[in-house]
Chains A and B, each alone.
Chain A
Amino acid sequence: MTNTEAKLRKPRQRLDPSDEVLIGRLAEGDQSAFNEIFDRYHRQIYNFIAKQVNDRESCEDLTQEVFMRVYKSASNFDTSKKFTSWLYKIALNEVKRHWKRTGARQTYSLNTPLSNEAGEAERADFIEDAREVPEDSTESELFSRNLRQLIDQLPDKQRTVVLLKVYQELTFEEIAEICECPLSTVLSRMRYAVDKLRRWLGVEDGQAEYGL
């Protein structure tokens, strides 16, 4: 693993028993299998949801709902599939249902292709927003807040890929399975998202525009 790779993802541990074995046991009524699954994944799922839903109470409710669904639907799980893909699909659906229910999802700038100029204007808006935070915020708190807003404003499909890749550290192949789309589509969503974040963050452009 290179240095950068180490910063971007933790090495994976082989889990014993496997998730798929555990979910099979849960389907047969083994409560302790549920506890084990919950221990393995609740932090990840909570974090995945918390990056998409701002209030803590809803995050907790939604995470709980995800695991209740796992509990109730264990016997429907197709054991030839990967458990984590199923789990993240459930989580994604819960978040979507939440947005539908509350109408809370920001629609600002969604799906608007950003020219460089528009990107500049949006960046100016974020800098404007940043002024509203408490005066004693540190620079890294400000950066974190702005970055969260930037990620929030990516189109849904691109944001999902970024969250699953960057923070959940899934492989692109796993993400393709969760999003039910070809690997090449996942890779181009990642490309578009990173290009936008790069413009917003004001990182120096590379020498080439590849127009993928």
Chain B
Amino acid sequence: MDCKKIQKQIFRFIYGESDEYELRAIKAHLEICNACEAEQKIIEEILVQIKSGVPDDPVPDGFKERVLSQVQALAEQDS
């Protein structure tokens, strides 16, 4: 695989979604290509930053109860 093909597959590689054939080809390429290896590191770093940079929003208190009571009302309507 050449650099261009590697870069097309790099996201799948980073997330552990490559198939066996891709995995072998990408690993072999990264061993010998500094540019692609550097690129992979940068992308990983950005992805980690993006992920950790926006924390999860907590679900508001009582939300579950509100939804379940709505569903209950619906169910009673139906019956």
Instruction: List chain A positions with a Cβ less than 8 A from chain B.
Output: 1-2, 4-5, 7-9, 31, 34-35, 38-39, 42-43, 46-47, 50-51, 56, 59-60, 63-64, 67-68, 71-72, 140, 143-144, 147-148, 151, 162, 165-167, 171-173, 184, 187, 190-191, 194, 197-198, 201, 203-204, 206-208, 210, 212
What residues on B are CB-neighbors of A206 within 8 Å? 35, 38-39, 42
Do A35 and B52 touch across chains, with their CB atoms under 8 A apart? no
Do A194 and B60 touch across chains, with their CB atoms under 8 A apart? no
Do A148 and B4 touch across chains, with their CB atoms under 8 A apart? no
Report the bound CA distance from A39 to B8 in whole Å.
Answer: 37
Q: Which of B3, B11, B70 contacts A208 (CB 8 A)?
A: B3
With A46-B59, A210-B7 already in contact, the answer to whether A31 and B52 are too (CB < 8 A) is: no
Report the bound CA distance from A10 to B61 in whole Å.
Answer: 25
Report the bound CA distance from A194 to B42 in whole Å.
Answer: 11
A31-B71, A167-B56, A208-B36 given; name 9 further pairs at CB < 8 Å. Answer: A8-B44, A46-B63, A59-B57, A60-B63, A166-B47, A166-B51, A172-B11, A191-B11, A208-B39
- The count of residues in chain B whose C-beta lies closer than 8 Å to any C-beta of chain A is 43
Q: Is B21 among interface residues, defined by CB-CB distance under 8 A?
A: no
What residues on A are CB-neighbors of B71 within 8 Å? 31, 34, 67-68, 71
Q: Which of B47, B54, B57, B64 contacts A147 (CB 8 A)?
A: B54
Q: Separation in Å of the A192 CB from the closest CB of chain B?
A: 11
What residues on A are CB-neighbors of B52 within 8 Å? 7
Report the bound CA distance from A31 to B35 in whole Å.
Answer: 55
Do A67 and B15 touch across chains, with their CB atoms under 8 A apart? no
Do A212 and B7 touch across chains, with their CB atoms under 8 A apart? yes
With A31-B75, A38-B64, A42-B67 already in contact, the answer to whether A167 and B54 are too (CB < 8 A) is: yes
Q: Which 7 residue pairs across A and B have the least CB separation, nearest first?
A: A50-B57, A206-B39, A147-B53, A207-B35, A210-B7, A4-B44, A208-B35
Report the bound CA distance from A5 to B11 in whole Å.
Answer: 11
